[in-house]
Amino acid sequence: MTEDLSIRSTDKTLVGIGGLAGIVPFFIHASASSTVTVNGEVTSATYRDNVALACGVIALVCGIAAVALARKSGGSRIGMAIAIAVLGAYQIAHGLGAI
């Protein structure tokens, strides 16, 4: 009587994990920035938030996977999965300094 112990990833689980990963960068930051000035004018500036990048990638991957799983269920589940993917993309853009 052996039972298989397996973790089943459903779209709800992925939305939960992705949502948590997408919210974390609003509260925790690990950013670095640098600027280059020539004759007193800024010629180059870079910004990177590593927490936002990492969490954004997790949220985006979870969102895309949840969309794939939620296609069978339809409705609001697909909407929530898309929202998590968009939140992940936002965090990636923020982490790269585009926003």
Domain range list for the chain: 11-95
Contact between 19 and 84 under an 8 Å Cβ cutoff? The reply is yes
Residue 95: per-residue pLDDT: 93
Closest residue by Cα to residue 26 from 86, 97, 95: 95
What's the predicted TM-score (pTM) here? Answer: 0.81
- Whether 74 shows a pLDDT value over 80: the answer reads no
Residue 46: per-residue pLDDT: 86
SS3 48: strand
Closest residue by Cα to residue 59 from 96, 16, 8: 16
User: What are the residues facing 35 on neighbouring strands?
Assistant: 45
- Under the banding of pLDDT at 50, 70 and 90, the label for residue 6 is very low
